[in-house]
């Protein structure tokens, strides 16, 4: 019997999305699922992209790379779809045609090596502002535990990078402690990241987010 993963994210749905956004989810999202990636190349994954601000920036910064975003919150998925869709041409804007979306728990595609999911290695993996689950009884829900970090390491190219950012400094220290049970190494703690909505909100009221870059 397969053991179900502990859920590491909150709700899947927020307020009702618009009719147009629902049309995008029904008609555009199925076309840009990761299983539809047909070409080889460099792959970048962002886990938990929120409304997609940073994911869109990655697509612009790396036009020759394939950008995959994983986000289980459907309001965020529909918001990203709205921002990359050109209503006048009824197509995805050319500058965002390298974006693919997985609207569910990222562990599903990381653990499955079939062609339907992610059989390839990743050059960069971003995990920016994951839910810190600050209460002690919720600590088991934290995404960046050693098991998950090892899973990311197994999907990382040689000399690839995992970029983690959080404005919850206790969570940051907790992640550093989790690294003891992985083979990952710290490359840097100096990262220039686009200021996303979550960074501006600064949920933990700290001076600034803290970052860490890891390699295998």
pLDDT of residue 171: 94
193 found inside a domain: yes
Tens-digit pLDDT profile for residues 143-200: 999 999 999 999 999 999 999 999 899 999 999 999 999 999 999 998 877 766 656 6
Domain containing residue 192: CATH number: 3.40.50.150
Query: In angstroms, rounded to a whole number, what is the distance separating the alpha carbons of residues 43 and 52?
Result: 17
Average pLDDT, the chain: 87
pLDDT at position 2 is: 40
And the tokens for 135?
């209460």
Segments forming the whole domain that contains residue 165: 19-215
DSSP state letters, 125-179? EEEES-----SGGGGGG-S-SHHHHHHHHHTEEEEEEEEEEES-HHHHHHHHHHG
Residue 120 is predicted with a pLDDT of: 82
How far apart CA 44 and CA 50 sit, in angstroms, is 16
**158 within a domain of the structure (yes/no):** yes
Please report the pLDDT score of residue 206 as a whole number. Answer: 53
For 66-79, the pLDDT digits (tens) are: 999 999 999 999 99
Residue 1 lies in a domain: no
Judge whether 5 lies within some domain. no
Instruction: Examine residue 2 and state whether it is found in any structural domain, yes or no.
Output: no
Catalytic residue flag (residue 131): yes
Tens digits of per-residue pLDDT, 2-35? 434 665 445 555 578 899 999 999 999 999 999 8
Number of domains in the chain: 1
Of the candidates 64, 105, 131, 190, the residue annotated as catalytic is 131
Q: What is the pLDDT of residue 4?
A: 47
Residue 200's pLDDT is: 62
Which tens digits make up the pLDDT trace of 96-132? 999 999 999 999 988 866 555 677 899 999 999 998 8
- pLDDT (tens digit, 9 = 90+) per residue, 122-134? 999 999 999 887 8
In angstroms and rounded to an integer, the radius of gyration of the C-alpha atoms of the chain is: 17
Per-residue pLDDT band for 203 (boundaries 50, 70, 90) equals: low
Asked whether residue 82 is assigned to any structural domain, the reply reads yes
Would 45 be classed as within a structural domain?
yes
Residue 11 lies in a domain: no
Burial 89-112 (b: 16+ CB within 10 A, else e): eeebeeebebbbbbbbbbbebbee
């Amino acid at each position: 019997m397969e053991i179900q993963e502990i859920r590491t994210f909150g709700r899947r749905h927020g307020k009702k999305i618009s009719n147009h956004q629902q049309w995008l989810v029904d008609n555009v999202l199925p076309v840009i699922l990761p299983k539809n990636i047909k070409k080889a190349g460099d792959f970048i994954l962002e886990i938990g992209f929120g409304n997609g601000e940073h994911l869109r920036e990655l697509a612009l910064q790396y036009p020759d790379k394939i950008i995959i975003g994983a986000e289980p919150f459907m309001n965020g998925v529909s918001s990203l779809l709205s921002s990359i869709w050109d209503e006048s041409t009824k197509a995805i804007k050319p500058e965002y045609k390298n974006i693919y979306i997985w609207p569910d728990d990222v562990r599903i595609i990381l653990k499955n090596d079939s062609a339907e999911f992610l059989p390839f290695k990743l050059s960069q993996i971003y995990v920016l502002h994951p839910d810190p689950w600050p209460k002690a009884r919720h600590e088991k829900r934290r995404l960046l535990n050693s098991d998950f970090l090892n899973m990311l390491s197994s999907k990382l190219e040689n000399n690839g990078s995992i970029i983690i950012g959080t404005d919850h400094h206790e969570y940051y220290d907790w992640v550093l402690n989790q690294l003891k049970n992985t083979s990952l190494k710290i490359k840097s703690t100096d990262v220039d990241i686009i200021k996303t909505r979550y960074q501006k909100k600064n949920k933990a009221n700290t001076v600034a987010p803290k970052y860490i870059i890891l390699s295998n």
